[in-house]
Amino acid sequence: MDTEAFREWSHRAADWGADYRASLASRPVRAQVAPGAVAGMIAAAPPETAEPMEAIFADFERIVPDAMTHWQHPRFFAYFPANAAPAAVVAEQLAGVMAAQCMLWQTSPAATELEIRMVDWLRQAVGLPEVFEGVLQDTASSATLCAVLTMRERALDWSGNRDGLTGHPALRVYASSRTHSSVDKALWIAGLGQRNLVKIPTDRNLAMDVDALRAAIAADRERGLLPAGVVVNVGGTSVGATDDVRAVCEAASEADLYTHVDAAWAGSAMICPEFRTLWQGVELADSIVFNPHKWLGTPMECSAHFVREPETLVKTLAIQPEYLKTHGKDGVINFSEWSVQLGRRFRALKVWFLLRAYGLEGLRARIRGHVRLARQLAARLSAEPDFEIVTAPVLSLFSFRYTPGRNHTDLDSLNLRLVNAINDDGRIYLTQTEHDGRLVIRFVAGQFDTRPEDIDIAFEAICAVARAL
Ligand SMILES: *Cc1c(COP(=O)(O)O)cnc(C)c1O
Percent of the chain residues topping a pLDDT of 90: 95
Residue 420: what pLDDT? 96
State the pLDDT at residue 292: 98
The residue contributing the CA closest to ligand 1 atom 5 is: 140
User: Which of 142, 270, 291 maximizes ligand 1 atoms within 8 Å of its Cβ, making it the mutation to test the pocket?
Assistant: 291
In a domain, 463, yes or no: no
- In a domain, residue 455? The reply is no
Kindly tell me if the per-residue pLDDT of 329 is higher than 90.
no
Per-residue model confidence (pLDDT) at position 327: 54
Ligand 1 site, CB within 6 A? 80, 139-141, 180, 182, 236-237, 262, 264-265, 291, 303
Ligand 1 atom, smallest distance to 182 CA = 10
- Euclidean distance between the first and the last CA atom of the chain, given in angstroms as a whole number: 54
Check which CATH number belongs to the domain holding 262 and give it.
Answer: 3.40.640.10
The parent domain of residue 178 ranges over 101-345
* Residue 174 belongs to some domain of the structure: yes
Q: Does residue 115 lie in a domain region?
A: yes
CB–CB of 395/446 below 8 Å?
Answer: no
- C-alpha of residue 81 to centroid of ligand 1, in Å: 11
**Residue-level pLDDT at 348:** 98
Q: How far is the CA of 219 from the centre of ligand 1 (A)?
A: 30
pLDDT for the residue numbered 332: 85
Mind listing the pLDDT tens digit for each residue in 18-49? 999 999 999 999 999 999 999 999 999 999 99
Question: In the chain, how many domains are there?
Answer: 1
Residue 60 lies inside a defined structural domain of this protein: no
Model confidence band, residue 405 (pLDDT cutoffs 50, 70, 90): confident
Is 370 within a domain? no
Residue 260: phi and psi, rounded to 5, are -130, 125
Does 252 map to a domain?
yes
Q: What per-residue confidence (pLDDT) applies to 319?
A: 83
Report the separation in Å between the CA atom of 260 and the middle of ligand 1, taken as the mean of its atom positions: 13
Going by C-alpha positions, the residue among 344, 286, 313, 311 that lies closest to residue 105 is: 344
The Cα 47–Cα 50 span in angstroms is 7
Q: Is residue 349 within 8 Å of 326, Cβ to Cβ?
A: no
pTM: 0.96
Q: How confident is the model at residue 323 (pLDDT cuts 50, 70, 90)?
A: low
- Summarize the chain as % helix, strand, coil (round to 5): 50, 15, 35
The residue whose CA is least distant from atom 12 of ligand 1 is: 264
Q: What average pLDDT does the segment 320-329 reach?
A: 61
Indicate if the pLDDT at residue 328 is higher than 60.
Answer: no
Confidence of residue 134 (pLDDT cuts 50, 70, 90): very high
> CB count, 10 Å around CB of 140?
25
Among 105, 87, 109, 106, residue whose Cα is nearest residue 17: 87
Q: Are 264 and 303 in contact (CB under 8 A)?
A: yes
Q: Is residue 441 domain-resident?
A: no
Average pLDDT rounded to a whole number, residues 67-86: 97
pLDDT tens per residue, range 409-437: 699 999 999 999 999 999 999 999 999 99
* Mean pLDDT in residue range 314-342: 80
The pLDDT value given to residue 437: 92
Is 387:403 a contact under the CB 8 Å cutoff?
A: yes
Spacing, Cα 58 to ligand 1 middle (Å): 35
Q: Per-residue pLDDT averaged across 384-395, rounded?
A: 97
Atom of ligand 1 nearest to the CA of 141: 9
- Kindly report the average pLDDT of the chain as a whole number: 95
pLDDT in tens, 181-227: 999 999 999 999 999 999 999 999 999 999 999 999 999 999 999 99
Lowest mean pLDDT among 67-76, 158-167, 314-323, 345-354: 314-323
